Amino acid sequence: MEKFEKQIRRVAEGKGFIAALDQSGGSTPQALLGYGIQEEDYSGEEVMYRLMHEMRVRVMTDPAFSGEKILGVILFEKTMNGFVGDIPVPEFLWQKNIVPFLKIDKGLQQIEKGVKLMKEIPNLSVRLNEAKGKGIFGTKMRSVIYANDESGIIEIVKQQFEVGKVILEHGLIPILEPEVDIQSDEKRVIESLLREAILAELDKLSNDQKILLKLTIPTEANFYSELIQHKNVMRVFALSGGYDLDRAARTLAENRGMIASFSRALLEDLKVDQTSAQFSKVLSAAIDEIYQASIT
């Protein structure tokens, strides 16, 4: 319990940001490609995931990747079950004062009512118990809103909160991530409907039910202030949503109280053929930029 309480304070009050290292399934080849590893360079899922794990370990073990500026890391399940040397990844991260989270969603359904709901998460209770046993603090699950359809937006938020309550019952803290597509022509209107739907669900929670939110950086600065200040919200994270690092950091800095939970924007300039010094320099620069945007 003492460890859990320390992690709660770290996530709720710490200065820094959340690193998302949770690419999985269909997104792994694209992530490797961005890192400079072509699909023809490997064969089969086993090799693909090994290469991805090696890239993540390289990031996590870099001197720039420390608890000084990074509060937490969102892990893919295979990474959670992996090791850094002979140390389990969640334990290795907490030794650096970095709180481990686990991505639990299993992808998205086909688009309907302008949204993509999460697919059913099989054996959820078993997976949550295993994660807790491995030292995981919380979970993350993503769904996506593409169009201005109020019924679809309400449905996507309800699904996030329903699963979030199950996660809370298992002693973990959920990150709810109803992403808004940054390409939508009606992004501002969608965000207004999303905010109201989230507030409606938050007001149904009991005082001891605390959740985290991960939201697309809003069109209007400080648009999510009411969510940030809500008694049931531990913290609000921002996803980069496809923006490059400079734009994501610049727009995040305009939003008081939001901190980054970036993936692509954090890793976009890292390459497999960089020397250790080059790799560390690039990673350090990205971390510094995201950190500054998160504490502004």
pLDDT tens profile 16-29? 999 999 877 667 88
Count of other CB atoms within 10 angstroms of residue 144: 19
pLDDT value at residue 264: 85
Cα 216–chain centre separation? 11
Answer yes or no: 155 catalytic.
Answer: no
> How confident is the model over 118-168, as pLDDT tens digits?
999 999 999 999 999 999 999 999 999 999 999 999 999 999 999 999 999
Q: What's this model's pTM, rounded to 2 decimal places?
A: 0.95
pLDDT value at residue 27: 79
Bridge-based pairing state of the strands 87-88 and 83-84: antiparallel
pLDDT value at residue 16: 97
- Residue 65, pLDDT > 80, answer yes
pLDDT value at residue 293: 97
Across the range 223-241, mean pLDDT stands at 97
- Residue 96, pLDDT > 90, answer yes
Given the residues 179, 187, 214, 289, the one annotated as active site: 214
- Residue 1, pLDDT > 70, answer no
Bridge-based pairing state of the strands 115-116 and 138-145: antiparallel
pLDDT value at residue 23: 74
Assess contact for 17 and 290: CB atoms under 8 A. yes
pLDDT value at residue 296: 86
Assess contact for 142 and 104: CB atoms under 8 A. no
List strand residue ranges (DSSP E) for the chain, in order. 17-21, 70-75, 83-84, 87-88, 99-103, 115-116, 138-145, 173-180, 211-216, 233-239, 258-262
Across the range 256-279, mean pLDDT stands at 95
pLDDT value at residue 242: 87
Answer yes or no: 78 catalytic.
Answer: no
Share of the chain above pLDDT 90, in %: 92
Note the helical H segments in 137-222.
Answer: 150-169, 187-202
pLDDT value at residue 28: 86
> How confident is the model over 128-139, as pLDDT tens digits?
999 999 999 999
Mean residue pLDDT of the chain comes to 95
Given the residues 177, 191, 201, 289, the one annotated as active site: 177
Res. 101 pLDDT band, cuts 50 70 90? very high
pLDDT value at residue 25: 62
pLDDT value at residue 238: 97
